[in-house]
Amino acid sequence: MGEAGKIRADGCKRDSSNGRDRAGKPSVGTHRGGSPADRRGRRVTIREIAEAAGVSVSTVSHVLNEYGDIGPDTERRVRQVMKEMNYYPSSLARRLVKKRSYLFQLLLFSVEGLHHPFFYEVTCGITDEVEKAGYDLLLGVKDSDDRRWRDSLKRCYESKVEGIIVMGTLPGPELFEEIRAGGIPTVFIDIPYEGPRATYVTSDNVRGARMATEHLISLGHRKIAFLDGYNLHFSDELLLEKDPSGSQDLPDARILLQGISEARLAGYREALNAHDVPFNTDLILYGDYTKAGAKETVRSMLRDHADVTAIFAISDVMAIGAMQAVRESGGRVPADVAVIGYDDIESASYVRPALSTVKQHGEEMGRSAVRQVLKLIGNPGKTPEKVTLPVELVVRESCGALPGQ
């Protein structure tokens, strides 16, 4: 359909003197839009693109404006020439033509923000996929207790943001009410929320936690501490009564705020139950998702529970802090205390001993989140299903068998 597409496109008259097509719309990426300089330091125009590709200026304009009426072979040729000539369309002109913002908003609620290695991996995946889709990304980073998060949402509405991605530990369940009311397509990462124009992407956290705990049990460990992030659990009684297969019976606000912790706690408990290992609420620890927080709580735990022989931390950052606490308390990893983490951040393989962990695919999680937002934008009446990504057990040096096992 290459020639037919070309003829049809050529029939759309364009006044080359003002950079507008027959409909009076500015052509995306014309020299007026400010394309980058070519190798000679001069701006490349769409007329030069057209000459190099052997097509009309109008055909190039239709490719840039994504009218969908150009044959695939012709479109590929035009885009290849643009790439070779280092030409990029003007995002501002594109927005004017389409009357759309082409903006995504990433809201990250985290004390460490992008300094956290796993959040950084996810953000890299988001950035790559957003760019591939032709959008720009706005970034908002807030601490979980920062009450100014409503200002971030207000800016989303003012900027006509087309999609929102949310990750981290949320400031409260009222955030969901605000997002639901705003109607902007939203995807949460590791936060199990589904609603009108909203869904989530997560890893198989229950399975990952069960694999980590069963690995420790297989090495003979039965006194296994669970190192959580924030203490958002309601009570010991609720922990004991809750079905270890999941968090469906928990109050909604708790599920939403504590998604990954609940899922990983469920996997930990499943493994204990499957191997007749008693569950002890005294061995549920909280490290604030930081090395310093993990060090402090593990040092205290080792004083009060000297019989603990293994620690499962729900993040590698806390696992590394736990290993430091064991060493600073006069112990050895893994000879005295085995430690396993979660995430498989880059430094997990560099610490000594190298950290055993559960690998999440952070970049793919970010890419999947963007793809889900695009589905919500393209199909406003249909909410896509949640995405659950697989995890893998990575065995390194930080877990050893108990003597005699």
The structural domains of the chain, ordered by start, are: 2-98 (1.10.260.40), 103-202+363-389 (3.40.50.2300), 205-360 (3.40.50.2300)
Q: How far is CA 384 from the centre of its chain?
A: 17
pLDDT, greater one: 101 or 108 = 108
Percent of residues, the chain, with pLDDT higher than 70: 77
Average pLDDT over residues 373-395: 89
pLDDT band, very low/low/confident/very high, at 144 (cuts 50, 70, 90): low
Average pLDDT over residues 187-211: 91
Query: What is the predicted pLDDT for the residue at 405?
Result: 62
pLDDT, greater one: 293 or 18 = 293
Q: How far is CA 301 from CA 281, 326, 329, 355, in A?
A: 12, 10, 11, 20
Query: What is the predicted pLDDT for the residue at 158?
Result: 81
Q: Are 78 and 46 in contact (CB under 8 A)?
A: no
pLDDT band, very low/low/confident/very high, at 8 (cuts 50, 70, 90): very low
Query: Which of 10-19, 142-151, 198-207 shows the lowest per-residue confidence on average (mean pLDDT)?
Result: 10-19
Amino acid (one-letter) located at 219: L
Other beta carbons less than 10 A from residue 275's beta carbon: 12
Q: To the nearest whole number, what is the mean pLDDT of the chain?
A: 80
Query: What is the predicted pLDDT for the residue at 372?
Result: 94
Query: What is the predicted pLDDT for the residue at 92?
Result: 57
Query: What is the predicted pLDDT for the residue at 193?
Result: 82
Q: 214 pLDDT exceeds 80?
A: yes
Place of tokens 């490719």: 63
Q: Which of 144-158, 206-220, 242-256 has the highest mean pLDDT?
A: 206-220
Query: What is the predicted pLDDT for the residue at 206?
Result: 95
